Amino acid sequence: MSKERTVLTIYILCLAEGTINHLFDFMHGGWTPYHFGPSFLRVFWTLLVILDPAVIALLIFGWRRSGLLGASSLMLADVAANSYASFALRDPGFTLALPEQTLFLGFVLGSAAFLWPRSQE
């Protein structure tokens, strides 16, 4: 497996983990499981169950530039939203997830330039 494929596989696996986590939230809390947050965060967290797989699809089906932009944007927004929930709202539920997401964000931002295709999609 090439280095590029390995890195893209890590992207896909991490985004899939996020999708699975949000699906579990829906299974346990219904369609609006994020009662503790303000409405803008509840909407964002709910949309992640659609946005994470959408980015995965872009990466799998060869829309690499769009997938890289999507992964970068999604993780920036996710870390920002979860940082707000953790620090401003003082929600202890992000103690483990936030450092993991921040690490993945760094990985995405650090690797995206090396994965950026030189030709047009």
The distance in angstroms from the start CA to the end CA of the chain is 22
pLDDT tens digit string along 88-114? 998 888 888 999 999 999 999 999 999
> From CA 64, how far away is CA 92, in angstroms rounded?
35
| Burial track 94-111 (b if 16+ CB lie within 10 A, e otherwise) | beebbeebeebbebbeeb
pLDDT tens digit string along 1-51? 799 999 999 999 999 999 999 999 889 888 778 888 899 999 999 999 999
The answer to whether 1 touches 28, Cβ cutoff 8 Å, is no
Provide the whole-model pTM.
0.90
